[in-house]
Amino acid sequence: MSGKRSLVRSGTTVDQMVRAIADRIVTGYLRPGEKLDEGSLAARFEVSRTPVREALGHLSAMGLVERRPNRGAIVAVITQEHLASMFESMAELEAICARFSAERMTGAERRSLELEHQASARLVQLGAEEDYEYFNTDFHSRLYRGAHSTHIHDLTMTTRSRLAPFRRAQFMLPGRLAKSWQEHDVIVTAIMRGDGAAAGKAARDHVSIVSEASAVFAAADPMEQRLSRSARR
Amino acid sequence: MSGKRSLVRSGTTVDQMVRAIADRIVTGYLRPGEKLDEGSLAARFEVSRTPVREALGHLSAMGLVERRPNRGAIVAVITQEHLASMFESMAELEAICARFSAERMTGAERRSLELEHQASARLVQLGAEEDYEYFNTDFHSRLYRGAHSTHIHDLTMTTRSRLAPFRRAQFMLPGRLAKSWQEHDVIVTAIMRGDGAAAGKAARDHVSIVSEASAVFAAADPMEQRLSRSARR
DNA sequence: CAGGCAAAAAGTGCATGCACTTGCCTTTGG
DNA sequence: CCAAAGGCAAGTGCATGCACTTTTTGCCTG
């Protein structure tokens, strides 16, 4: 149809769409249960249905969308139980990463971790929530990498991305910033000591607290479920 | 082309292809690094390239195949490090499942687990390797389910399926059957006691042993790599 | 007026075709 | 004889079209 489009592509078109759609889901722009019509998406992204279908395939495999044969795709509806289960898994995965980090991080990694952690104290003082959240993501990524285990790294990153929509507002609770830093501090200290068990426990507790903070929002879910149900048509 | 084919299929065509190709990879029929030509696969399965592409998308997201833009797909080459990492993850995941199982299994689940476990002793006596492997799969699945956490269940099942090609021959080592049963016994005992820590440790050790047993085969990999490289054309 | 049925509309699943990219091979200039 | 460039073949990426499935809507019947 269009001779060339402004496509240019870094990576493939499908990849871009996967990212774009995943982003819309993760940021809550697309709500759970919302119908994903191939035709509409194709029109929206100005491509044909073929790459849309492929992208939906990817997203389905990622667990972000649910595909029902001959009945189209919807944004994955996450039940209360499943959400709890994911946070629980996250806590355990982070515990593993922290434990391994304590046992395996190189000197450079430890120094860098501690350095960044200490620097982040400033963000807490300033109450820079957005910057702190950015740092927080980086902090946790360091733990995942520090475990020196690609597969655990992958599992953890995947789970985290699936939890992203539900963690967004955690820092809006008053005093959360300072507490988060203190929890990080316990983890860092344990890692510097090389105390895997303590680091694991601290990381697990840290995530559990985030989980509880997020549960507040999850409580609003029944409404969302109703909304999405009616949105099904 | 063919007016109707024996199409009928439960589930979609793509799903079947995913299973079929995954099976060929998991069973080692398709070797790591082997080129997956869309046209050939389409011909082989008697479908067009479209569902093949979609299936490859799924498989890529699962990590079973690797897709390079404009350059086709190959069966994912798993490095020694990544394999070790996956086994390590598996050990940790099983440890979590066992720990949770010890803490959360219902009375019925516990009884059923113990019953089946005791029954499996007969298979060991008979040296029924194939039957025991079947039971073994079931035994572990019980642990995953017993954790009462859908997401951990999913993570564990996924990881296990990706490890399947490398675990196949574990029971060929002499005496492995009896040792496996004893290891199971330690896990079951700990679960019946409700001792999560002990169950976790026992499960981790159990997997670690399987991992070492499989490492024997992984050692044959360099040859495989050469083979697959030349197979690239 | 409610319930059910049937036909049409909507939307998914797959096939086919064409453009573009990539890798290889040939050809030509140094 | 080697190296670089250009062309050729193979194969991927996407668009479009048609068949089949699901869902909806309007009509008929009890």
Task: Map out the domains of chain B with their CATH numbers.
Answer: 13-77 (1.10.10.10), 80-218 (1.20.120.530)
Chain B residues with CB under 8 Å of A86 CB are 151
The token pair that represents B10 in the structure block:
């439960």
CA distance A87 to chain B (A): 9
**Who's near B226: CB < 8 A, 6+ residues apart?**
none
Stretch B65-90: mean pLDDT: 90
Chain A residue with Cα closest to B12: A69
Instruction: Determine whether the distance from the CB of B59 to the nearest atom of strand D is below 7 Å.
Output: no
Shortest Cα distance, chain A CAs vs residue B186, angstroms: 23
User: Is residue B8 very low, low, confident or very high in pLDDT (cuts 50, 70, 90)?
Assistant: very low
Q: Give A24 or B199, the one with higher predicted confidence.
A: B199
Tell me how crowded residue A31 is: count the other CB atoms within 10 A of its CB.
Answer: 17
- Which nt has its C1' nearest the CA of A56? C12
Give dist(CA A22, CA A224) in Å, integer. 19
Summary mean pLDDT of chain B? 84
**What does the pLDDT read at residue A191?**
98
Q: Is the pLDDT of residue B5 over 60?
A: no
Predicted structure pTM score: 0.81
Parts of chain A with a pLDDT under 50 = 1-10, 219-233
Q: How far is CA B156 from CA A175, B34, B88, B130, in A?
A: 36, 27, 12, 22
- Higher local confidence (pLDDT), B155 or A165: B155
Contact B89 A54 (CB under 8 A): no
SS3 category, B30: coil
Q: What is the mean pLDDT of residues B108-123?
A: 97
- Nearest-Cα distance to chain A for B153, in Å, is 9
Looking at residue A30, its pLDDT comes to: 87
Residues of A in contact with B19 (CB under 8 A): none
Residue type at B158? T
- Residue B10 confidence (pLDDT): 34
- Work out the burial of residue B223: count CB atoms within 10 Å of its CB; fewer than 13 is exposed, 13-18 middle, 19 or more buried: exposed
Please tell me the least confidently modeled range out of A74-83, B2-11, B213-222.
Answer: B2-11
Identify the closest residue of chain A to B13 by CA–CA distance: A69
CA max distance for chain A? 63
- Tell me what pLDDT residue B224 has: 41
Say which residue, A104 or B176, is predicted with more confidence: A104
Q: How far is the CA of A212 from the C1' of D30 (A)?
A: 57
Q: 3-state class of B6 per DSSP?
A: coil
C-alpha of B120 from chain center: 21
Confidence at residue A148, expressed as pLDDT on a 0 to 100 scale: 97
Which residues of A fall within a CB distance of 8 Å from B12?
A: 69-70
Quickly give A70 CA vs C6 C1' distance in Å: 21
With cut-offs at 50, 70 and 90, classify the pLDDT of residue B122.
very high
* Cβ-based interface (< 8 Å): residues of B facing A: 11-12, 14-15, 50, 53-54, 57-58, 60-63, 69, 81-82, 85-86, 88-89, 92, 96, 149-152, 155, 159
d(CA B172, CA B181): 15
Are the C-beta atoms of residues B129 and B177 closer than 8 Å to each other?
Answer: yes
Backbone φ/ψ region at A66: left (φ over 0), alpha (ψ -120 to 50), beta: beta
Enter the tokens of residue B45: 């399965």
| CA nearest neighbour of A228 among A30, A26, A29, A33 | A33
Q: What is the pLDDT of residue A11?
A: 54
- Tell me what pLDDT residue A4 has: 32
**What DSSP state is assigned to residue B65?**
E
Whether A200 and A99 have beta carbons less than 8 Å apart is answered as yes
Residue B177 CA neighbour count, 13 Å, CB half:
18
Determine the pLDDT at residue A222: 38
Share of chain B above pLDDT 70, in %: 84
Q: Which residues of A touch B (CB under 8 A)?
A: 11-12, 14-15, 50, 53-54, 57-58, 60-62, 69-70, 81-82, 85-86, 88-89, 92, 96, 149-152, 154-155, 159
Handedness of CA B81, B86, B87, B92 (dihedral sign): positive
Cα gap A167→A161, rounded to integer Å: 10
- Where is B136: in which H helix or E strand? helix B129-146
Rounded Cα–Cα distance for residues B53 and B39 (Å): 10
- Percent with pLDDT over 90 in chain B: 54
At A222 the three-state DSSP class reads helix
CB distance B194 to B102 below 8 Å: yes
Q: CB–CB of B93/B228 below 8 Å?
A: no
| B184, pLDDT greater than 80 | yes
Under the banding of pLDDT at 50, 70 and 90, the label for residue B11 is: low
The span from the CA of A187 to the CA of A117, in Å, is 10
* Of A9-18, A216-225, B98-107, B108-117, minimum mean pLDDT range: A216-225
Assign residue B2 a region (left: φ > 0; alpha: ψ between -120 and 50; beta: otherwise).
beta
| Exposure string over A87-117, b if 16+ CB within 10 A, otherwise e | bbbbbbbbbbbbbbbbbebeeebbeebeeeb
Q: Which of A129, A134, A139 is nearest to A203 (CA)?
A: A139
CB B97 within 8 A of CB B89: no
Distance CA A201, CA A111 (A): 21
Mean pLDDT value across residues B24-37: 86
B16 conformational bin, left if phi > 0, alpha if psi -120 to 50, beta if neither: alpha
Q: How sure is the predictor about B12, in pLDDT bands with cuts at 50, 70 and 90?
A: low
